[in-house]
């Protein structure tokens, strides 16, 4: 038996890891150069407490969110994923108390433990609000490192990753999936999991199923490590129908981060930032917390979220035999991913009558250090960089990129944003991959660090 998972983001790798518990061949396909480089790469990294998802309007979302929150507790320990369990606060004034109480009742109904309304400044003296819905079970992870860790665990247990491999079509025969067609050839399969993020509607269309996924852009600001003050909790505004709002948080790396806003766009590749958007983020965040000046910002970025028609996750079996959806994974998709992976794997195992493996490995190798410091900002050593390159190759990363190293080590993510260490990392990538230095990329093909040897410019 063979299962294809389309998409190597957080949902896809969670499905693949859970499937690796069974006696089945699992293949993960993604057009990007590395795992987690789509929707999963650029988001706030929050593990939500799950009080905001209405169980009547969004039953799949509400259930998966609460279960996923519980599963992350053990997952971060098993796989050594950077994390913090700081709890969250939804901040408001007296006029917001009815809405906070509504969220409290909803959270209790969803099964969220320890929720309560508190005087906000008793937990955060600098916060700009009188009251808060306090959710101590909320936390934060590094999304890129989480995807990498889960993908490695899946690979250790036999899952094969096919990166820079675009799915072009899916062949269906007599109402059942038969093969997946890629730019690298055709693979016969017994089941396909559509975890393609923003492209999930296109993958569904390959088997004749209608689906609508709209990209919603969110912009972020990250401040220098010495910029503060920094909150000790995740701070939310009172949510709207459209969004959970601009968040103020101290991310797991120790940097103050604010965002995202929420703007619908047409282009599924548009991760540009705008002056207006970043001003909006800064302005809304400053209503919650005293922010440092903008000249302390070291990075801005934008991410896209897949917004499904109707707002709920699109999950499970379809009318096409062997075709399963894990689509429309908008917020709280990161939180829900482990639960979605478990549910889908169980469903597929039942349908294909799969047996569980007698032996299955839960963990992954720990990072290796040694050698001199390469990244001065985050104190990353040459040994850690070479370890990261080894793990890239283990997963099947074909194109050497500085960003692949960054997401595994935090090198180039400090104050100087790689001004000092990028060239040293590039040299190590060139050595380990056996390519000229100028062929090393920043973030995959098309972002090469050079055009050739100097002599090529004077011929």
- List, by residue number, the catalytic residues: 48
User: Is the four-CA dihedral 113, 54, 6, 340 of positive or negative sign?
Assistant: positive
Q: What are phi and psi of 307, to 5 degrees?
A: -95, 110
Give which of 439, 419, 443 is closest to 429, Cα–Cα. Answer: 439
Q: Residue 343 and residue 349: Cα distance in Å, rounded?
A: 10
Q: What are phi and psi of 188, to 5 degrees?
A: -75, 135
User: How many Cβ atoms from other residues are within 10 Å of residue 290's Cβ?
Assistant: 12
Asked if 383 and 59 touch (Cβ cutoff 8 Å), the reply is no
User: Is the four-CA dihedral 115, 117, 123, 125 of positive or negative sign?
Assistant: positive
Q: Residue 85 and residue 10: Cα distance in Å, rounded?
A: 19
């Amino acid at each position: 038996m063979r299962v294809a998972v389309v998409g190597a983001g957080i949902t896809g790798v969670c499905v693949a890891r859970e499937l690796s518990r069974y006696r089945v061949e699992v293949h993960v396909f993604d057009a990007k150069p590395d795992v987690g480089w789509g929707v999963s790469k650029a988001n706030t990294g929050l593990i939500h407490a799950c009080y905001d998802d209405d169980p009547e309007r969004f039953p799949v979302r509400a259930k998966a969110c609460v279960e996923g929150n519980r599963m992350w507790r053990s997952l971060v320990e098993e796989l050594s994923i950077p994390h913090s369990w700081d709890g969250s606060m939804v901040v408001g004034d007296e006029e917001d108390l009815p809405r906070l109480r509504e969220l409290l009742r909803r959270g209790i109904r969803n099964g969220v433990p320890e929720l309560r309304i508190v005087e906000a400044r008793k937990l955060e003296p600098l916060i700009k609000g009188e009251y808060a819905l306090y959710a101590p079970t909320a936390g934060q992870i590094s999304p890129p490192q989480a995807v990498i860790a889960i993908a490695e665990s899946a690979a250790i247990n036999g899952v094969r990753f096919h990166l820079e491999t675009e799915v072009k079509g899916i062949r269906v025969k007599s109402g059942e999936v038969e093969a997946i067609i890629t730019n690298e050839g055709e693979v016969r399969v017994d089941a396909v999991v559509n975890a393609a993020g923003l492209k999930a509607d296109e993958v569904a269309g390959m088997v004749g199923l209608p689906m609508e996924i709209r990209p919603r852009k969110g912009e972020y600001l990250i401040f220098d490590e010495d910029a503060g003050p920094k909150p000790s909790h995740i701070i939310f505004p009172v949510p709207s129908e459209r969004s959970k709002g601009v968040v103020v948080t101290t991310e797991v790396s120790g940097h103050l981060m604010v965002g995202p806003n929420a703007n619908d766009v047409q282009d599924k590749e548009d991760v540009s930032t705008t002056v207006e958007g970043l001003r909006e983020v800064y302005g809304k965040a400053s209503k919650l917390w005293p922010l440092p000046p903008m000249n302390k910002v070291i990075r801005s970025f934008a991410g896209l979220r897949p917004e499904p028609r109707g707002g709920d996750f699109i999950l499970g079996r379809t009318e096409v035999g062997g075709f399963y959806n894990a689509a429309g994974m908008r917020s709280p998709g990161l939180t829900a991913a482990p639960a979605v992976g478990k549910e889908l794997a169980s469903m597929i195992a039942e349908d294909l009558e799969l047996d569980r493996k007698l032996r299955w490995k839960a963990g992954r190798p720990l990072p290796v250090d040694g050698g001199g410091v390469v990244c001065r900002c985050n104190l990353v050593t040459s040994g850690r960089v070479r370890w990261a390159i080894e793990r890239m190759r283990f997963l099947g990363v074909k194109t050497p990129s500085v960003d692949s190293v960054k997401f595994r080590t935090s090198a180039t993510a400090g104050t100087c944003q790689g001004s000092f260490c990028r060239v040293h990392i590039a040299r190590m990538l060139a050595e380990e991959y056996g390519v000229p230095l100028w062929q090393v990329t920043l973030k995959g093909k098309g972002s090469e660090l050079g055009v050739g040897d100097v002599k090529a410019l004077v011929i």
